[in-house]
Amino acid sequence: MDNRIFNVNGCGSQFLLEALRLVFSQSERQALSWEHHPEHGMILSYTRDGAKNMLPGPMSAEAILSFVETYLKSDEAQRLRITGWDIDPGHDGDSVRGWRIYVEDWGHVGSCQTAICGIRPAYMWMGK
């Protein structure tokens, strides 16, 4: 669908898996390739056309979970500039580093028109 909307943040492996299952079912695709984008984070794509990094084969949410978790701990992900509602606001509560899975207008992520989703680090804010 062209007007796909998805924007979920959280922390922990089980919630990450559930969010991946939901975004994969929404796009009705499996991941065939991925790329690291300096602003958008990891972009999972359902095509190999023009892909930056091929996956070993079609991957479901369950199959790609550990790969996504490894990416979120990587130097590339740690260097992403965190902005907006994803920041650690330095407030009087606590913040826990987690993730955000999302798509943008038309279900794209950045210039990737074949995106299943973008995945980037994000902070979860905990009150007092």
Query: 46-90, pLDDT tens digit by residue?
Result: 998 776 899 999 999 999 999 999 999 999 999 999 988 888 887
Note the pLDDT of residue 99. Answer: 97
Q: What would you measure as the largest C-alpha separation in the chain, in angstroms?
A: 48
Helix axes 61-73, 13-27, angle to 10 degrees: 120
Full residue range of the structural domain in which residue 37 is found? 7-126
Residue 17 in this model has a pLDDT that exceeds 70: yes
The tokens of 50 are what? 């023009």
Q: Note whether residue 1 is domain-resident.
A: no
**Nearest by Cα to 8 from 22, 25, 26, 29:** 22
Least confident among 39-48, 79-88, 99-108: 79-88
Note the pLDDT of residue 51. Answer: 65
Note the pLDDT of residue 52. Answer: 82
Query: 117-127, pLDDT tens digit by residue?
Result: 999 999 998 87
Q: Note whether residue 34 is domain-resident.
A: yes
Q: In the chain, where does DSSP find H-type helix?
A: 13-27, 61-73, 75-79
Q: Note whether residue 104 is domain-resident.
A: yes
CA dist., res. 100 & res. 118, Å (int)? 8
Q: Note whether residue 58 is domain-resident.
A: yes
Number of domains in the chain: 1
CB 101 within 8 A of CB 118: yes
Q: Note whether residue 2 is domain-resident.
A: no
Note the pLDDT of residue 128. Answer: 57
